[in-house]
Amino acid sequence: MSANNDVLLHVDNLVMHFPIYRGVFQRQVGAVHAVDGVSFDVKRGETLGLVGESGCGKSTTGRTILQLYKATAGKVLFDGADLMSLKREEMRWMRRQMQMIFQDPYASLNPRMTVADIVGEPLMVHNAATGKEIQERVAHLLELVNLSPSFAGRYPHEFSGGQRQRIGVARALALQPSFIVCDEPISALDVSIQAQVVNLLEELQEQFNLTYLFIAHDLSMVRHISKRVAVMYLGVIVELAERDELYSQPLHPYTQALLSAVPIPDPLADARRKRVILEGDVPSPVNPPSGCRFRTRCPIADKICAETRPEFRQLKPGHFVACHFAERFLQ
């Protein structure tokens, strides 16, 4: 066990580069720097929100933690166990503890398997239950996610998006894991269904003392569900803080820009606030900018930003930020 028993997942300087091969001889000509040195802790029973725009590496981070990709460098400690040093079979066993909910409920269920097969497969492959017991557990799991157990014999295409996502949740819960990576679980759903699924996730968290890594790009949804929030930009975490702290006093210019883009359902308040509009596009992760990743679009960038990579430092208790000039925003 690790020294700190509160921490369920400890990610230390995680790096994931996808090599790019070219030519007849498949020489490596470069790499996509999808995740480039990410460190954070997730405490038992909490929800850590991970936000950032498309392509910033949030999903890759989640998948690399679950060892779906072989990380280029770094360390992932889960409940004290170093996941990267585990053998294949040990890792397979470890997967009972850590599950994932996928973004696209249409793509994440095998169309040739019935709901009973899909939800029951984890139990089967881990010999957690047999025969009749699997059926009972599947029925129970379906009830847990508010689906009728009579749906067990049906195929995924007979369900709506929200229903499918709940089947995915039931599958993730089957092995009674302690940690679930929610990879944008609601962004493919109708707004009316999003609330249902989020509330279900919250209910289940309470009931089973689950720990979530909640990946999303919807800031208000993350604010609703998370206890702490990490903001990612181009493969690095730029800011990490308690939810209320981050939303009320963002210290990184990127976080400020993101928050100022959240619509406020009040035209007067909306007119009064200052919008930070970012210039240009996100640079290519194949060839990221030197120094600070954000400097090419940062309104306060200076010389030092191009030269040294800002340290990810604790500026206030529990509030981490990677910016040379973050002090400016401290009150």
Partner 1 sequence: MTETTPSGDNTLLRETAAIREIGRLERFLGPENYRIMVGLLKTPASIIGFVLIGVFIIIALAAPVIAPPVTPNDPYKIPRDGFSSEPQPMGSPWTRKTPPVPFWYEPIMGTDQWVHILGTSQGQYDVFYGIIWGTRTAFRTGLIVTIATFLIGIIIGSVSAYYGGIVDNIIMRVVDIFLTLPFILAALILAAVLTPRIGKSLFPAIIALVTFGWMGYARIIRGDILSIKERDYIMAARVIGVKDSRILFRHIIPNAIFPTLVLASLAIGDVVLSFAALSFLGIGTEVGYADWGQVLSFARNWITSLNTYWYIVVWPGLTLVLYVMGFNLVGDALRDVLDPRMRGKS
Binding site for partner 1 (CB under 8 A): 63, 66, 68, 92-93, 95-96, 98-100, 102-104, 107-113, 121-122, 125-126, 145-148, 151, 154-155, 157-160, 163, 168, 171, 175, 192, 195-200, 203, 224
* Residues 142, 145, 150: CA angle, nearest 5 degrees: 30
CB of 218 to partner 1, least distance (A): 12
Phi and psi at 179, nearest 5°, equal -135, 135
What phi and psi values does residue 55 have, to the nearest 5 degrees? 80, 10
Q: Beta strands of 52-154 (E only): which ranges?
A: 73-78, 81-82, 98-101
In the complex with partner 1, the residue whose CB is nearer, 223 or 252, is 223
Task: Give me the sign of the Cα torsion angle 232, 278, 318, 242.
Answer: negative
Q: Give residues with Cβ within 8 angstroms of 329, minimum separation 6.
A: 249, 250, 251, 256
Based on CB atoms, which residue is closest to partner 1, 145 or 240?
A: 145
Distance CA 16, CA 235 (A): 9
C-beta separation of 261 from 284 below 8 A: no
CB of 237 to partner 1, least distance (A): 23
CB nearer to partner 1: pick between 148 and 331:
148
Q: Which is nearer to partner 1, 225 or 292 (CB)?
A: 225
For residue 156, the minimal CB distance to partner 1 (Å) is 9
Minimal distance in Å, beta carbon 126 to partner 1? 6
Nearer to partner 1, 118 or 292 (CB): 118
Give the nearer residue to partner 1 in terms of CB position, either 115 or 257.
115
Phi, psi of 214 (to 5 degrees): -100, 105
